[in-house]
């Protein structure tokens, strides 16, 4: 079973997404900030990261840059799940190495298809 790290500061969304992924058989770890996510990745790297962009002091772009610059973490697939539906934000996320960029609100089925492909 692959472990998925969800990085999201909206508690309701993180809980709903966690339930959906657990129902599909994934082990889910949750972080409410990019800083917390980095600590979790250093102790036990996940098989996949799903992250928001706009969060507290460190945003999802910075999180992805650190993940990709860390030898032990750089191969972890990374999905942005965000309300930023701007072309420039999408381009930036993908150019930094994100495997997918999904905008909120989102349909669960396409997200699960991407998760399945990447996990």
Q: What is the mean pLDDT of residues 65-76?
A: 95
Alpha helices in 34-96 (DSSP H): 34-43, 60-69, 87-95
CA distance 113 to 19: 16
**Mean pLDDT over each residue of the chain, to the nearest integer:** 92
CA distance 102 to 90: 9
Q: What's the chain's length in residues?
A: 119
Model pTM?
0.94
CA distance 91 to 100: 11
Tens digit of each residue's pLDDT (9 = 90 or more) over 36-55: 999 999 999 999 999 999 98
């Amino acid at each position: 079973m692959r472990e998925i790290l969800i990085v999201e500061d909206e508690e309701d969304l993180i809980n709903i997404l966690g339930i959906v992924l657990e129902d599909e058989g994934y082990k889910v770890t949750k972080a409410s900030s990019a800083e917390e996510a980095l600590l979790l990745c250093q102790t036990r790297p996940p098989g996949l990261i799903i992250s928001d962009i706009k969060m507290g002091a460190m945003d999802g772009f910075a999180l992805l840059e650190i993940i990709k610059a860390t030898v032990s973490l750089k191969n972890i697939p990374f999905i942005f799940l965000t309300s930023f539906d701007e072309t420039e934000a999408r381009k930036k996320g993908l150019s930094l190495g994100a495997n997918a960029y999904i905008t909120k609100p989102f349909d669960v089925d396409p997200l699960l298809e991407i998760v399945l492909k990447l996990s």
